[in-house]
């Protein structure tokens, strides 16, 4: 997710590029970590661009609708977002410091797809997506 190309893309679709929107796009293009609305709010404050929480929630919803962000199902109770431009991947979540790291799942993906096919047959489900998270402790917190 390149901030420059994203803003150009949005502009061609007729959307405005406000300072808040630009900053939020910049935040997500400079990290692969899943962020919450609160994370974004605090980051904007730190950067000297304080914004109302309503604006943050609406902007995340907007970027989601534009398929520039995607929701991540992680820790219960709080919605996390990450750039949608990343390759499909999974997460590694430290149960102590709560840091989240992306994992490239190439080798396992095939196995998941195989299971998904079998499940579809057995249960009558059509599977369109999946999420896989690993919980444990990072090098620091062991």
Partner DNA sequence: GCACTATATGCAAACTAGTTGCGTTTGTCA
Partner DNA sequence: TGACAAACGCAACTAGTTTGCATATAGTGC
Site residues, a second copy (CB under 8 A): 71, 73-79, 92, 94-95, 101, 103, 105, 107-108, 111-112, 114-116, 118-120, 123-139, 142
Question: How many positions of this chain bind DNA (CB under 7 A)?
Answer: 27
**Which of 4, 8, 31, 52 forms a contact with DNA (CB under 7 A)?**
52
Site string for DNA, 9-48 (x = CB under 7 A): --x--xxxxxxxx--------------xxx----------
Distance CA 101, CA 66 (A): 24
- Residue 40 main-chain phi, psi, to 5 deg: -65, -45
Distance CA 136, CA 125 (A): 31
Q: Binding of DNA at residue 59 (CB under 7 A)?
A: yes
**Number of residues that this document lists for the chain:** 142
SS3 category, 73? coil
Shortest distance in whole angstroms from residue 137 CB to a second copy: 5
Shortest distance in whole angstroms from residue 89 CB to a second copy: 11
Shortest distance in whole angstroms from residue 35 CB to a second copy: 14
Residues 6 or more apart whose CB falls under 8 angstroms from that of 37 comprise 53, 56, 57, 60, 79, 81
Q: Binding of DNA at residue 122 (CB under 7 A)?
A: no
Q: Binding of DNA at residue 110 (CB under 7 A)?
A: no
- Residue 102 main-chain phi, psi, to 5 deg: -80, 145
Shortest distance in whole angstroms from residue 66 CB to DNA: 10
Which residue is it, tokens 């950067």? 47
Q: Binding of DNA at residue 61 (CB under 7 A)?
A: yes
Q: What is the DSSP letter of 140?
A: G
Q: What is the token pair recorded at 17?
A: 């590029």
């Amino acid at each position: 997710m390149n901030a420059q190309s994203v803003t150009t893309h949005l502009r061609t679709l007729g959307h405005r590029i406000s300072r808040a929107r630009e900053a939020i796009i910049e935040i997500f293009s400079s990290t692969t970590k899943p962020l919450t609305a609160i994370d974004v709010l605090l980051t904007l404050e730190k950067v000297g661009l304080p914004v109302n929480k309503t604006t943050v929630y609406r902007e995340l919803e907007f970027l989601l609708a534009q398929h520039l962000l995607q929701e991540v199902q992680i820790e219960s109770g709080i919605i996390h977002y990450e750039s949608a431009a990343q390759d499909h991947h999974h997460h590694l979540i430290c149960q102590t410091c709560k840091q989240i790291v992306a994992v490239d799942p190439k080798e396992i993906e095939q196995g998941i797809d195989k299971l998904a096919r079998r499940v579809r047959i057995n249960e009558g489900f059509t599977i369109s997506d999946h999420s896989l998270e690993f919980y444990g402790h990072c090098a620091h917190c062991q």
